Structure 1
Amino acid sequence: MTTSQRPPEYTVRISARSKRARIEVSHQGAVQVVVPLWFSLQGVPTLIEHHKKWLQRSLTRLQQRGVQAAVPPSQILLPAIDEQWQLHYMADKPPHEATTSSSCKAIIDSTNRAFYELPPEPHRYIPLLQQWLQQRATEVLPRWLTQLSSECALPFNRVTIRHQKTRWGSCSARGNINLNRNLLLLDPAVVRYLLLHELCHTRHLNHSIRYWQL
């Protein structure tokens, strides 16, 4: 939809299970009107007109997301450790000699916190940056956890850095702690709290009163 006067293109699907007419917008921006068997197809244009503003907002939001996704990021912020890394893609040339990372297969200048020669395609640079974030988290988070462990006299067995979708961390009965690499994207005070939270689970695996008294 480009103007408020022009309705979007849409398809109509008759559903025997549907109890009311509804409009669906897919992630690709396709508009579909789902109507029950008893619904008159002559009423579809009126339904579209009635929800025209909602459709405009939904389609505009999808277009904006598409534009944002198509533009490669120019930097990575790691608030937890107060780092900002600049990203330069293959069209750019490094201003000086930098170190080559054998694992990421991109040129990483750790001194100036910059990436060079990153491939511009999302399906290529995203895995590289994810792999690098995993490495950076593996370098930083275990040291941070060990320091807090010593300060609070809460020893743990071992720590593993993972990419977890639903948890920031976990602790097993053996004192093994898993930490989410995305902790580097959080505020340092929040990360400290989450690390202490898992260390306290080395004493009490639940959230009982004794746990909160630690």
Structure 2
Amino acid sequence: MKSVAQFNADQAVQFAELPEIKIVRHARAVRLRLRVEPNTIRLTVPLRCSQKQIQHFLGQSEQWLLDTWQQQQKQKVSTLPAELSLFNLDQSIQVIYQSLDRPFIFHIAQQQLWVSDQQPEQHLKAFVLSYAKEHLPDYLQQLSRACDLPFAKCTIRQPKTRWGSCSAKHDIMLHAGLVLFPPEIVRYVAVHELAHTRHFDHSAKFWAKVYQHDANFQQHRYQLKNRALPYWWHALK
């Protein structure tokens, strides 16, 4: 990440009813990408993208921005979830908010999660992070063996714009929030990153390898692009 600038009247067109738009110039960005979160709007752009290109892109995206921002605000004021669906469980778990001497208590046999009612968004996210660190690396290892695509190590993080990555050393990163997504979406992301251990690009050979292990990858890829983490994930930074 090279720089972060506040979107203001001197930089681009203004949008009524919207917050300031943060412009992030990124060395690895190849196209302009908007991300709407409950408290901010972020625009990632290539390093050499001109101000005129940014203005044109935002002008074309105005209605989508307004609609998406309004939907986010409706979600923000909604109640916390009474249930959570996790990628590797057949049934949703019940979430109970009450006074606790710890952030959360999870009883997998009872399919119940108790969350402290003091800063519940933060503690709910803490549970998801803990669950992801416990289960995603094992899941990736099992899939790696089934696909015969070995990797070096797996880390669980929460980056702003990526669901996963694979380094030149075949170290794979997965986004913790994936555990909140359906199993087929999690599997697609895992297959995608494992395929990079053979083809460190997005060439035809890479996508053929993805297809070999996920024949419906295009559908899953589309679904992933149209999903977002729940509002409480972004409530506390």
Shorter-chain TM range is 0.5 to 0.7
Give the alignment's Cα RMSD to 1 decimal: 3.3
Amino acid at match of 2:139: W
**1:113-132 mapped onto 2 (5 Å cutoff):** 113-116=111-114, 118-119=116-117, 121=118, 124-132=119-127
1:160 aligns with 2:155: yes
TM-score, normalization: structure 2?
Answer: 0.54
Once the two structures are superposed, what CA deviation does each residue of 1:146-192 show, in whole Å capped at 9, x if it has no partner?
11111121110000011122111000000000001111122211211
C-alpha deviation, 1:72, in angstroms: 2.8
C-alpha deviation, 1:80, in angstroms: 4.9
| Residue from 137, 140, 149 that aligns with 1:142 | 137
Number of residue pairs aligned between Structure 1 and Structure 2: 151
The 8 Å contact of residues 104 and 127 in structure 2, kept in 1 or not, is answered as no
Q: Name the SS for the 2:149 alignment partner.
A: coil
C-alpha deviation, 1:109, in angstroms: 2.3
**1:55-66 mapped onto 2 (5 Å cutoff):** 64-65=74-75
Amino acid at match of 2:159: Q
**1:11-160 mapped onto 2 (5 Å cutoff):** 24-25=16-17, 64-65=74-75, 67-68=77-78, 71-90=79-98, 105-116=103-114, 118-119=116-117, 121=118, 124-160=119-155
C-alpha deviation, 1:105, in angstroms: 2.9
Q: Name the SS for the 1:86 alignment partner.
A: strand
The 8 Å contact of residues 107 and 116 in structure 1, kept in 2 or not, is answered as yes
* Larger-Rg structure: 1
The 8 Å contact of residues 85 and 114 in structure 1, kept in 2 or not, is answered as yes
**Structure 1 stretches (4+) deviating beyond 6 angstroms?**
60-63
Q: Name the SS for the 1:207 alignment partner.
A: coil
The 8 Å contact of residues 81 and 184 in structure 1, kept in 2 or not, is answered as no
Corresponding residue for residue 208 of structure 2: 213
The 8 Å contact of residues 156 and 177 in structure 1, kept in 2 or not, is answered as yes
Q: Name the SS for the 1:173 alignment partner.
A: coil
1:192 aligns with 2:187: yes
**Following the alignment from structure 1 to structure 2, what is the Cα–Cα distance between the partners of residues 138 and 26?**
35
Gaps of at least 5 residues in structure 2 are 1-8, 20-66, 210-237
TM-score, normalization: structure 1?
Answer: 0.59
Higher strand share: 1
Q: Name the SS for the 2:129 alignment partner.
A: helix
